[in-house]
Chain A
Amino acid sequence: MTHVLVVEDDGDVAAIILAKLSEQGFTVRHATTGREGLACALAERFDAITLDRMLPDMDGLALLARLRAEQIAVPVLLLSSMSDVDQRIAGLRAGGDDYMVKPFSPEELAMRIEVLLRRHGEYPDNAMLRVGDLELDLIKRKVWLGREPIPLLQKEFRLLEFLARHPGQTISRQMIFEQVWGYFFEPTDNLINVHIGKLRRKLDRPGRPPLISTIKGEGYRLDPA
Chain B
Amino acid sequence: MTMVIGPRSARALPEIRHTTTFRLVTTLGVMFVIAVIALLGLTYVLTAAQLTSRSDQVLFKDMHELAGVPRAQLPNAVDGLIVTNASGLTFYGLVGPDGRKLAGNIVLPDGVHGGAPFDLPAGSAAAVPLRAIITRLPDGTRVEVARDTSPIIDLRHRIFAIMATSGLAVILIALVAGWLLSLGPLRRVAQFRAVAMRIATGELGPRMTISRRSDELDLIAGMINAMLDEIERLMEQVKGATDAIAHDLRTPLAHLRHRLQTLARRATGAEADPDPAVAEAIVDIDMVLRRFNALLRISELEASGRQAGFGPVDPMTLLADIAELYEPLAEERGIGLSLEGAYGHDILGDETLLLEVVSNLVENALKFVNPGGQVALSVRRTGDAIVIAVCDNGPGIPEAERELVLGRFRRGSGAARTTGMGLGLNLVAAIVNLHGFALSLEDAEPGLCVRIACQGRENAR
Instruction: Give residues in A with beta carbon < 8 Å to B.
Output: 12-13, 16, 20, 81-86, 89, 101-107, 155, 181, 183-191, 194-195, 197-198, 215-218
Contact = CB atoms under 8 A, between A and B. Distances in A.
Interface in B238-293: 247, 250-251, 253-255, 257-258, 261, 264, 273-274, 276, 279, 282-283, 286, 289-290, 293
Interface string B3-36: 0000000000000000000000000000000000
B51 interface: no
Interface string B324-352: 11101100100000000000000000101
A105 B300 contact: no
A37 B328 CA distance: 46
Contact of B261 (A86, A105, A190, A194): A105
Interface stretch (B38-46, B93-101, B304-312): B304-312
B261 A217 contact: yes
Contacts of B82: none
B363 interface: yes
B352 A85 contact: yes
A1 B247 CA distance: 36
Contacts of A184: 352
27 contacts: A20-B258, A82-B300, A83-B293, A83-B300, A84-B297, A84-B300, A85-B353, A86-B304, A89-B309, A103-B254, A103-B255, A106-B261, A107-B258, A183-B352, A185-B356, A186-B290, A186-B293, A188-B363, A190-B329, A194-B329, A195-B328, A216-B273, A216-B276, A216-B279, A216-B282, A216-B283, A217-B279
A197 B328 contact: yes
A197 B332 contact: yes
A17 B276 CA distance: 26
B309 A103 contact: no
Interface string B216-256: 00000000000000000000000000000001001101110
A83 B296 contact: yes
Nearest to A216: B279
B273 A194 contact: no
B355 interface: yes
Contact of B274 (A86, A101, A105, A216): A216
A102 B251 contact: yes
Nearest to A82: B300
A138 B329 CA distance: 27
Interface string B131-155: 0000000000000000000000000
Given A89-B309, A191-B329, A105 B254 contact: yes
B374 interface: no
A84 B309 CA distance: 11
B90 interface: no
Contacts of A216: 273-274, 276, 279, 282-283
B322 to A, nearest CB: 10
Contacts of B306: 86
B393 interface: no
Given A16-B258, A85-B350, A217-B283, A191 B325 contact: yes
Contacts of A104: 254
A12 B251 contact: yes
B359 interface: yes
A217 B282 contact: yes
Contacts of B309: 85-86, 89
Contacts of B296: 83
A188 B274 CA distance: 21
Nearest to B356: A185
Given A86-B308, A197-B332, A216-B279, A181 B253 contact: no
B194 to A, nearest CB: 31
Contacts of B328: 194-195, 197-198
Nearest to A153: B324
A194 B332 contact: yes
Contacts of A84: 297, 300, 304
A31 B286 CA distance: 29
Contacts of A188: 363
Given A181-B325, A191-B325, A81 B254 contact: no
Quick one: which of B261, B304, B328, B355 has the most chain A CB within 10 A? B328
B363 A12 contact: no
A211 B171 CA distance: 95
Nearest to B252: A103
Contacts of B293: 83, 101, 186
A104 B290 CA distance: 11
Given A85-B353, A185-B356, A188-B363, 20 more contacts: A81-B247, A84-B300, A85-B350, A86-B304, A86-B306, A101-B293, A103-B254, A103-B255, A105-B257, A107-B261, A183-B325, A183-B356, A185-B355, A186-B293, A186-B294, A191-B363, A197-B328, A216-B273, A216-B279, A217-B261
Quick one: which of A13, A102, A183 has the most chain B CB within 10 A? A183
B285 to A, nearest CB: 9
Contacts of B283: 189, 216-217
A16 B274 CA distance: 20
Contacts of B324: 155
